[in-house]
Structure 1
C-alpha cells in the first residue's frame, strides 16, 4: 500500500551506485527502514541532501506492516528547512549527536506522536535559538529518557544532598552500595536541567569540564536502561566545540 507521512531521518547509508538506505522515524508508523533509488545521480528526483541526519521530510512510500521490511520510497521532499543547523558547526554537531542517540535508543515500529513532536520541536529550537546551546544535548538526553520510559524522578532541592542511583534511576540520601551513582554535585546539575524547559537550559551554570562529566554519566545511564545501547561516536566532537 501507499503510505504518506512526515518523517525524521536518523541514519543513511549508501547502497549500490546511486541508491541509499535510510532509517526514518515516521509520525504515523514509528521507526522503519526505506530504500530510495537514483538519489546520488545527477537527475535525482529525491536529492541526497534530504537524507542528512535529522532532516524532517514529507514522504510517500510503498509500505508493508513488517518491521524487518525495507520499504521503497516513492516521493520525498523537505517538510522543514533548517536555516542554521546545516551551516553552524555547533548546531550541526548537536543534531548529529541527537540522531545517533535516537538511532541507538528508539526501536519501536509503531506510532508515537508524542516522541515525534518532541524531536521535531527540539530540532526547531536548536535551529532558531538565540541563546547558547551548550547544555541542550544534556537536556535532550534527560527528556528523551522520559519518553522512552526511564526518566529520573526527583525534586530540585539545593539544600539537600542527594546521590543519583544510575541503576535504579532514583535519588537517594546515601550512595548505593554498588557504587554506580552520581555524586551530589552532579546530581544537582542533573536536577537543574530536568526542571527547566529547553528554552532555559542555557541558564544552568555548567563549565566545559562539568558538561563532559555529566554527559559521560548520562550515556552510562542509557547503557544501563536501553537494551543494546552501545557507545556513541559524537561526544568527542561535542566536547571540543561546546
Structure 2
C-alpha cells in the first residue's frame, strides 16, 4: 500500500556498503523502519541522506506492507526546515539525547495523532527559542502522559515521590522513593508549558539531579529502557 504521511526521524544505521536503515515515527502508522538502498552513494535521487538527520520532520511517500519487515520510501520532502536544531551545539546534543529516548520509549506501529502533534510542537519550539536549559526535562515529563505513566499531580503535596507507583506521599514507600531538593524542583515543572521555562530556576547540579530522577522514573516504567549514550555529552555541555 502506498502511503503519504508526515514523519519524524528517530535513528539511522548504516547497512552494508551503501544502504541505510532508518527508523521514523509516522503520523499514519506509528513507528516504521525503512531500508534505503544505495542512498549513501546517491547524490541526486529523490531520497538523500541529508533528509534523515535526527528528529527531522519529513513528508514521506512510502510503500507499507505492514508485515513487520523493512518498508520502502519512494519520495521524501522536508516538512519543516530547521533553523538551529542541527547547527547549535547545545541543541544538537539535546536532539541526540531525545532521539535515543524516543527510540526506546515508542514502539507502537499504530497512529497516535496526539503524540505526533506533541513531538512536532515541541521540536518546533526548541528550534525557535534560545532559553532551552530545562527543555529536555519538561519534554520528558510531558512525554510520560502519552506513554501512560504521568505522575499523579493530585498528590503533589507529599514530601516523597514514589517512582514505582507514580505519586507523592508523606512517608517513604517500600521501593524507589525519593525526597529532597530534586523532588521539589521536579514539582515546578507540573502544569507549565515551554514558554514558562524561564520561570524554573535551577542550578546545574539540581538540573542534573532532576534529569537523573526522571530517567530513573523511565527505567522503572519502560521495559526497553537503556541508559542513553548521549547523556554524558549532554551533561558536559550543561555543566
CA distance in 1, matches of 2:65, 2:44: 28
Q: 1:197 aligns with which of 182, 193, 198?
A: 193
The answer to whether structure 1 residue 168 and structure 2 residue 165 are counterparts is yes
The answer to whether structure 1 residue 228 and structure 2 residue 224 are counterparts is yes
Secondary structure at 1:223's aligned position in 2?
A: helix
**What is the aligned partner in structure 2 of residue 76 from structure 1?**
76
The answer to whether structure 1 residue 136 and structure 2 residue 135 are counterparts is yes
User: Over aligned residue pairs, what C-alpha RMSD do you find?
Assistant: 1.5
CA distance in 1, matches of 2:216, 2:6: 32
**What is the aligned partner in structure 2 of residue 185 from structure 1?**
181
The answer to whether structure 1 residue 93 and structure 2 residue 93 are counterparts is yes
Gaps of 5+ in 1: none
Quote the offset at 1:161 in angstroms: 5.2
Quote the offset at 1:69 in angstroms: 1.4
**What is the aligned partner in structure 2 of residue 55 from structure 1?**
56
Q: Deviations over 1:191-241 (max 9, x none)?
A: 111221112123211111111111111111111101121111111111111
Provide the TM-score with structure 1 as the length reference.
Answer: 0.93
CA distance in 2, matches of 1:26, 1:124: 17
CA distance in 2, matches of 1:116, 1:140: 13
The answer to whether structure 1 residue 125 and structure 2 residue 121 are counterparts is no
Query: For the Cα contact (< 8 Å) 2:25–2:31, is it kept in 1?
Result: yes
Paired positions, count: 237
Secondary structure at 1:14's aligned position in 2?
A: strand
Quote the offset at 1:90 in angstroms: 0.8
Gaps of 5+ in 2: none
Provide the TM-score with structure 2 as the length reference.
Answer: 0.94
Quote the offset at 1:184 in angstroms: 3.5
CA distance in 1, matches of 2:158, 2:153: 12
Q: Deviations over 1:153-186 (max 9, x none)?
A: 21597xx5511101111110111133x1221422
Secondary structure at 1:233's aligned position in 2?
A: coil
Secondary structure at 1:79's aligned position in 2?
A: strand
**What is the aligned partner in structure 1 of residue 152 from structure 2?**
153
Query: For the Cα contact (< 8 Å) 1:186–1:214, is it kept in 2?
Result: yes
Q: Deviations over 1:27-86 (max 9, x none)?
A: 0100011111232123333221211110000001111123x2110111111111000011
